[in-house]
């Protein structure tokens, strides 16, 4: 019986590989897989890549719980194997992987894109993440990942999520690449011009990148729909990032400021403890002479944050994330935020820094890079070096390497905090010019690359010190 179960599992995975690498059906594998699926009590639709996972779950609601965390490591695994369960798992894993990675070719409709995005969300759930987390879209993505892993999209919890940085280091970028290809194959302008079709689009980093690139060619209804999608995406990402920033920038308690005597600040435990001397055994009653309140005021120091962002084609994800992040920091007390974007020219976006939507509409994605143009706008803004942090976000493939690095070194020597950042993407992967990487390391300011939460915590250490 064990050998039979192992054979069944192999049949399902051989079919998966065959369908991924050859769009032609293998009749023998298809019929054998159908027999396996029906025998283990799964619906035949599990084998049909034309049926979305959402549709499958709607018809068979019990499968939702099986799909959540399906591909995540089991905590406390004893090594014992349930061969029958492995066959069922193989069938469901094959369904999710085939729907996501066999994206086909040719023109794509808004409905097809929406279905793929939903299927990709199920893959992320199967890996123990929230939908959108690996691709950098949706409320579970990007900055919110560190606070939301292990919780399924249903809210019931999916166990401890895998360390995707070591287990599956490339899956996020690969999903993003597939999605970007689908967006490119879609006649986006025609979709945006039709409100019914545009309503089917779900905002994602790939879609936002395409909208920002094409915004100057849109007008009327198409432009209005594009702006609506951009704002939805910005609001979703901002909601998650704002939570991370609020946690990171709390500061230390300032006990020189008397606590506000309001009910929400009442320290009930301390109040009871301090008044225990007034306990009356006869009456079994505690008499309270004094109420104690918690200190909530926190020490803050006025700081200036200058964010310089490369808006060339290779840095779109970073541009979007940093623009939103800058707007959130700009809303904090005693933080003076300035935002500069550049390619071959530089643009001071500080007047719009509080509104990331308006800021993104003023960007011009693409082109080469000349950081010296941005440096010319940055240097005059450093009035008090000790109270200034300069965050420079780029892949550092520059046209004037020596000149730019010397200016950056001067900022570091002046006493200002200089943080070079290679990426602030949701996937945490980016290419950085090795020439700059080595020199920043020698300077004592190594390039920060990875998840956007790393940048949030770096800024925390400066803004609350």
pLDDT of residue 367: 67
Q: What percent of the chain has pLDDT over 70?
A: 81
Residue 81 has pLDDT above 70, yes or no: no
Average pLDDT taken over every residue of the chain: 80
Q: Are residues 59 and 143 in the same domain?
A: no
Domain for residue 108, yes or no? no
Tell me, yes or no, whether 149 and 51 share the same domain.
Answer: no
Is 324 found in the same domain as 457? yes
Residue ranges making up the domain that contains 32: 1-72+82-102
pLDDT value for 109: 87
Residue 158 pLDDT grade (very low, low, confident, very high; cuts 50, 70, 90): very low
Residues 208 and 261 in one domain: no
pLDDT on residue 326: 85
**Does residue 5 lie in a domain region?**
yes
Residue 155 has pLDDT above 50, yes or no: no
Residue 436's pLDDT band (cuts 50, 70, 90): very high
Quickly state the pLDDT bin for 428 (edges 50, 70, 90): very low
Query: Which pLDDT belongs to residue 77?
Result: 53
Q: Residue 261: what pLDDT?
A: 77
How many distinct structural domains can be found in the chain? 4
Co-location of 124 and 226 in the same domain = yes
**pLDDT class of 160 with cuts at 50, 70, 90:** very low
The reply to whether 110 falls in a domain is no
Compare 145 and 426 and report the one with higher pLDDT. Answer: 426
Whether 403 maps to a domain, the answer reads: yes
Q: Which residues contact 285 (CB under 8 A, 6 or more apart)?
A: 279
Q: What is the pLDDT of residue 217?
A: 84
* Model confidence at 161: pLDDT above 70: no
Residue 63's pLDDT band (boundaries 50, 70, 90)? Answer: very high
228 and 213 inside one domain: yes
As a whole number, mean pLDDT of residues 94-117 equals 89
Which of 265, 297, 329 is the last residue before a domain boundary? 297
**CATH number assigned to the domain comprising residue 354:** 3.40.50.410
In terms of domains, do 93 and 122 share one? no
pLDDT of residue 138: 47
- Whether 232 is covered by a domain: the verdict is yes
> Are 243 and 147 spatial neighbours (Cβ–Cβ below 8 Å)?
yes
- The strand pairing partners of 187, in sequence order, are none
Q: 325: which 2 tokens?
A: 């992040």
Report pLDDT digits (tens) over 247-260. Answer: 655 454 556 557 77
88 & 9 share domain: yes
Same domain membership, residue 222 and residue 91? no
* Any domain includes 50: yes
Q: Is the pLDDT of residue 8 over 60?
A: yes
What the block records as the tokens of 434 is: 């090795």
Let me know whether 365 and 230 are in one domain: no
Q: Give a yes or no: residue 393 inside a domain.
A: yes
For residue 349, what pLDDT is reported? 93
The listed range with the strongest mean pLDDT (166-180, 324-338, 402-416, 418-432) is 402-416
CB 409 within 8 A of CB 437: no
pLDDT at 156: 31
Q: Do residues 333 and 315 share a domain? A: yes
pLDDT confidence of residue 216: 82
Tell me, yes or no, whether 88 and 183 share the same domain.
no
**pLDDT tens digits, 277-318:** 888 888 888 888 888 888 665 555 558 899 999 887 667 777
Report whether 107 contacts 186 (CB < 8 A): yes
Residue 430 lies in a domain: yes
């Amino acid at each position: 019986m064990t050998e039979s179960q192992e054979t069944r599992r192999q049949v399902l995975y051989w079919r998966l590989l065959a369908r991924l690498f050859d769009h032609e059906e293998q009749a023998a594998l298809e019929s054998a897989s159908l027999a396996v699926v029906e025998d283990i009590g799964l619906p035949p639709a599990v084998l049909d890549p034309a049926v979305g996972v959402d549709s499958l779950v709607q018809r068979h609601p019990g499968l939702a719980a099986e799909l959540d965390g399906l591909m995540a490591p089991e905590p406390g695994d004893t090594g014992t194997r349930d061969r029958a369960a492995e066959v069922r798992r193989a069938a469901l894993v094959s369904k999710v992987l085939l729907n996501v990675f066999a994206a086909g070719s040719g023109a794509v409709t808004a409905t097809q894109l929406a279905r793929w995005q939903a299927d990709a969300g199920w893959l992320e759930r199967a890996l123990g993440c929230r939908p959108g987390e690996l691709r950098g879209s949706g409320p579970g993505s990007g900055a919110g990942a560190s606070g939301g892993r292990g919780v399924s999209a249903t809210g019931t919890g999916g166990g401890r999520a895998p360390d995707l940085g070591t287990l599956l280091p490339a899956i996020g970028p690969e999903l993003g690449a597939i999605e970007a290809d689908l967006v490119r194959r879609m006649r986006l302008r025609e979709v945006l011009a039709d409100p019914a079709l545009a309503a089917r689009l779900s905002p994602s980093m790939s879609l936002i990148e395409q909208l920002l690139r094409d915004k100057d060619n849109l007008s009327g209804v198409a432009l209005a729909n594009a702006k609506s999608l951009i704002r939805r995406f910005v609001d979703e990402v901002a909601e998650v990032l704002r939570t991370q920033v609020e946690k990171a920038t709390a500061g230390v308690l300032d006990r020189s400021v008397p606590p506000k005597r309001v009910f929400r600040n009442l320290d009930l435990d301390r109040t009871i403890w301090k008044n225990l001397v007034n306990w009356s055994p006869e009456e079994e009653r505690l008499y309270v002479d004094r109420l104690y309140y918690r200190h909530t005021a926190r020490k803050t120091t006025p700081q200036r944050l200058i964010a310089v962002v490369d808006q060339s084609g290779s840095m779109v994800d970073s541009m979007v994330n940093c623009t939103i992040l800058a707007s959130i920091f700009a809303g904090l007390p005693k933080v003076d935020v300035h935002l500069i974007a550049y390619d071959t020219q530089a643009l001071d976006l500080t007047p719009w820094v509080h509104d990331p939507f308006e800021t993104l509409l003023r960007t011009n994605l693409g082109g080469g890079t000349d950081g010296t143009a941005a440096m010319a706008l940055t240097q005059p803004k450093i009035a008090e070096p000790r109270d200034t942090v300069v965050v420079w976000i780029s892949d550092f493939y520059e046209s004037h390497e020596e000149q730019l690095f010397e200016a950056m070194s001067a900022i570091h020597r002046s006493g200002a905090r200089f943080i070079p950042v290679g990426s602030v993407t949701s996937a945490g992967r980016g290419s950085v010019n090795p020439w700059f990487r080595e020199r920043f390391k020698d300077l004592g300011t190594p390039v920060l690359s990875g998840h956007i939460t790393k940048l949030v915590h770096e800024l925390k250490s400066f803004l609350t010190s």
